[in-house]
């Protein structure tokens, strides 16, 4: 006598499947509820059925449900179909206990996570569109560095925005850091040269990705020294707009991404899409407007938590 397990959406369907696959001689050994409103029936027969290969173990049904739910989560974030397929590939090829562990595994496979630290020797220049929180991110970074007794040099090139310098200087005064204002590439190079041995943070004016002159001006600033450009992007936003922005900002050749306003958005499809298009590593995110709260490091686990937040 051999035992076979069949899973279906209800008991009637399960019994029908038992008869169709195992024949009228099949004996029902047990039945029970299984996971998301599924019914598992264990049946026994004296002979192996002709279509035995059609019978799949119950765990396949669980895996299918997990994949369906994981896909729904990714669709909620408005990700393009191609990127959903790429993220789902490692999930379809593995076995997981939950959607959360499946998505975490796939993010680790598909993306890189490299949180910023206080050991970098290259100056960090934060750039991005207007109003995304670059200055707040710089302020959080210099506050944390000061807390850890690291020497910090802060430079701003944001001279065109009303109040841009004043906003940053309010924080540097509190921390007793001399804010340097670079009005052109030559001044920026001079201040960087004077900041050797310090953690150098550079704030920039917001850049319109549709304005090629503004992008070129940013590139000229980056080219004055061995600067590490870090793209800053706020959470939420339209995915198609993010695609256009990412394609425009590829000229800047960034490798890292900081996420801002993570506390005020439910969807992160634009962030993931931009990172995918530009090949960016996730570094840190800001989940609180308080300057005293440092940027939080991003890992596959913490990013999955953000993606799953609307479903908890």
Task: Write out pLDDT tens, residues 208-220.
Answer: 999 999 999 999 9
Task: Determine contact, residues 184/160, Cβ cutoff 8 Å.
Answer: no
pLDDT at residue number 59? 53
pLDDT at residue number 37? 66
pLDDT at residue number 245? 98
Taking 60 as the threshold, does the pLDDT of residue 53 lie above it?
no
By mean pLDDT, which of 205-214, 225-234, 285-294 is the weakest?
Answer: 285-294
**Stretch 223-236: mean pLDDT:** 98
Taking 90 as the threshold, does the pLDDT of residue 163 lie above it?
no
pLDDT at residue number 35? 64
Average pLDDT, the chain: 91
Task: Determine contact, residues 189/200, Cβ cutoff 8 Å.
Answer: no
* Structural domain spans, the chain: 1-56, 58-110, 124-311
CA distances from 144 to 188, 240, 289 (A): 23, 35, 14
Give the tens place of pLDDT for each residue, 8-52.
Answer: 777 877 787 777 777 777 788 788 877 666 778 888 877 655 555
Q: How confident is the model at residue 2 (pLDDT cuts 50, 70, 90)?
A: confident
Which are the contacts of 188, defined by CB distance < 8 A and separation ≥ 6?
Answer: 155, 157, 182, 202, 221, 224, 225
Task: Determine contact, residues 110/87, Cβ cutoff 8 Å.
Answer: yes
Q: Are strands 179-181 and 199-203 parallel, antiparallel or unpaired?
A: unpaired
> H or E stretch including 297?
strand 296-297
Share of the chain above pLDDT 70, in %: 94
Q: Are strands 199-203 and 124-127 parallel, antiparallel or unpaired?
A: parallel
Handedness of CA 55, 56, 58, 64 (dihedral sign): negative
By mean pLDDT, which of 117-131, 161-175, 183-197 is the weakest?
Answer: 161-175
Q: Residue 250, by phi and psi: left (phi above 0), alpha (psi -120 to 50) or beta?
A: alpha
Q: Nearest to residue 153, comparing CAs of 247, 241, 225?
A: 225
By mean pLDDT, which of 35-39, 144-148, 302-306 is the weakest?
Answer: 35-39
pLDDT at residue number 23? 78
Task: Determine contact, residues 300/113, Cβ cutoff 8 Å.
Answer: yes
CA distance 97 to 90: 14
Superfamily of domain 124-311: P-loop containing nucleotide triphosphate hydrolases (3.40.50.300)
Higher pLDDT, 156 or 120: 156
Q: For residue 255, give both structure tokens.
A: 């490798």
pLDDT at residue number 36? 60
201 alpha-carbon distance from chain centroid: 23
């Amino acid at each position: 006598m051999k035992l076979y397990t069949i899973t279906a959406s209800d008991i009637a369907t399960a019994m029908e499947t038992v008869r169709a696959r195992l024949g009228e001689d099949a004996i029902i050994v047990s039945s029970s509820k299984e996971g998301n409103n599924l019914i598992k029936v264990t049946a026994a027969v004296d002979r192996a059925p002709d279509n035995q290969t059609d019978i799949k173990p119950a765990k396949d049904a669980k895996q299918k449900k997990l994949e369906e739910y994981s896909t729904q989560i990714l669709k909620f974030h408005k990700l393009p179909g191609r990127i959903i397929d790429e993220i789902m590939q490692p999930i379809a090829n593995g076995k997981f206990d939950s959607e959360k562990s499946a998505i975490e595994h796939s993010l680790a496979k598909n993306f890189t996570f490299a949180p910023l630290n206080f050991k970098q020797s290259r100056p960090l220049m934060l750039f991005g569109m207007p109003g995304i929180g670059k200055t707040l991110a710089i302020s959080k970074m210099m506050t944390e560095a000061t807390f850890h007794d690291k020497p910090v040099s802060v430079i701003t090139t944001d001279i065109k925005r009303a109040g841009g310098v004043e906003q940053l200087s309010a924080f540097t005064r509190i921390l007793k850091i001399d804010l340097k204002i670079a009005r052109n590439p030559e001044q920026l190079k001079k201040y960087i040269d004077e900041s050797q041995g310090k953690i150098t943070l550079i704030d920039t004016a917001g850049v319109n990705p549709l304005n090629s002159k503004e992008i070129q001006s940013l590139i000229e600033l980056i080219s004055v020294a061995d600067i590490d450009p870090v793209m800053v992007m706020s959470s939420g936003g339209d995915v198609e707009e993010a695609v256009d922005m990412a394609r425009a900002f590829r000229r800047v050749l960034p490798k890292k991404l900081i996420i801002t306003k993570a506390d005020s958005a439910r969807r992160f499809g634009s962030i993931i899409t931009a990172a995918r298009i530009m090949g960016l590593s996730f570094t840190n995110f800001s989940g609180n407007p308080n300057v005293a709260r440092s940027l939080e490091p991003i890992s596959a686990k913490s990013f999955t938590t953000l993606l799953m937040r609307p479903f908890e």
